Amino acid sequence: MRPAPSARFLGWLWATLLRLQALTWRKQVVGLERFAALRAAGHRVIVLFWHGKYAPLFALVRVPGACIFTSRSFRGDVISEICRRFGLRAVEIPDHGGDASLGLMRAAVADSDVAAIAIDGPLGPYHSVKRGAIVLASELGCVLLPISLASRSKRVATARWDRREVPRLFATVHVEAGEPITVPRGLDEEGIDAWSERVRVALEALDAQAELALRSDGPQSSSRWS
């Protein structure tokens, strides 16, 4: 179904603003060669990040044709339009869809060599890893690649569950890809829980590493909005 005109307009607006903002950012990129190496070796990759950090990644990590998951809603329609503007393929799935949502994700990942998931989204709780990416990696043999970013001078939406971060104009933005994570095949429920925790720890550590890289390069500032 084609998104409503209002969703298309908002998606165009967000994509345009992100592109213009990104032109002013001073970018530091570390570890993305790991992504290229995984693709060159023929691995199917699922890129993982926190929901609160997804917005600037559209403009910073370019992976044409990658599959992005979003919710089946007006908000999801807006994000789908942003994806289209950046050359990405959006797959909308119902919130709390259970096995049906997982089935849609499974089909999409099986049909693409790169997918990207906000692993605590779309509704949180904050930094609580959802099991879908772990299940898909175990079933389909995908390699998980965590990505984080940190910004000097940013706006933080503290009233949102995900505490969304958007770098200010002319901010320094550090993007970092962590070590690839290979999940064993055929995990049971206990194994899925254990690997979900390992992924959470890896992403939290990557967050801290990105923040440390910024601090070593000078002072930071941030503001908040609701």
* Residue for token pair 């709780």: 125
* Among the ranges given (51-55, 128-132, 156-160, 222-226), the one the predictor scored with the smallest mean pLDDT: 222-226
DSSP result, 2-41: PPPHHHHHHHHHHHHHHHHHHHH-EEEEESTHHHHHHHHT
- In this prediction, residue 34 carries a pLDDT of 92
- In this prediction, residue 225 carries a pLDDT of 38
- In this prediction, residue 64 carries a pLDDT of 79
> Which residues have CB under 8 Å from 61's CB, separation 6+?
32, 47, 147, 175
- In this prediction, residue 222 carries a pLDDT of 42
What digits encode the pLDDT tens for the residues 5-39? 999 999 999 999 999 999 999 999 999 999 889 98
- In this prediction, residue 219 carries a pLDDT of 47
Number of Cβ within 10 Å of residue 188's Cβ equals 9
Q: How confident is the model at residue 125 (pLDDT cuts 50, 70, 90)?
A: very high
82 vs 221, higher pLDDT: 82
Q: Is the pLDDT score of 169 beyond 50? A: yes
pTM: 0.90
Record the tokens describing residue 151, joined without a space.
């910004």
C-beta separation of 109 from 13 below 8 A:
no
What digits encode the pLDDT tens for the residues 185-216? 999 999 999 999 999 999 999 999 999 998 87
Rounded mean pLDDT, 151-165? 94
The one-letter code for the residue type at 221 is: S
What is the largest distance, in Å, between two alpha-carbon atoms of the chain? 48
What digits encode the pLDDT tens for the residues 109-119? 888 889 999 99
- In this prediction, residue 108 carries a pLDDT of 87
What digits encode the pLDDT tens for the residues 32-87? 999 889 989 999 999 999 999 999 999 998 887 899 988 888 999 999 999 999 99
- In this prediction, residue 72 carries a pLDDT of 87
- In this prediction, residue 79 carries a pLDDT of 93
131 CB-contact burial (10 Å; exposed 0-12 / middle 13-18 / buried 19+) = middle
- In this prediction, residue 217 carries a pLDDT of 67
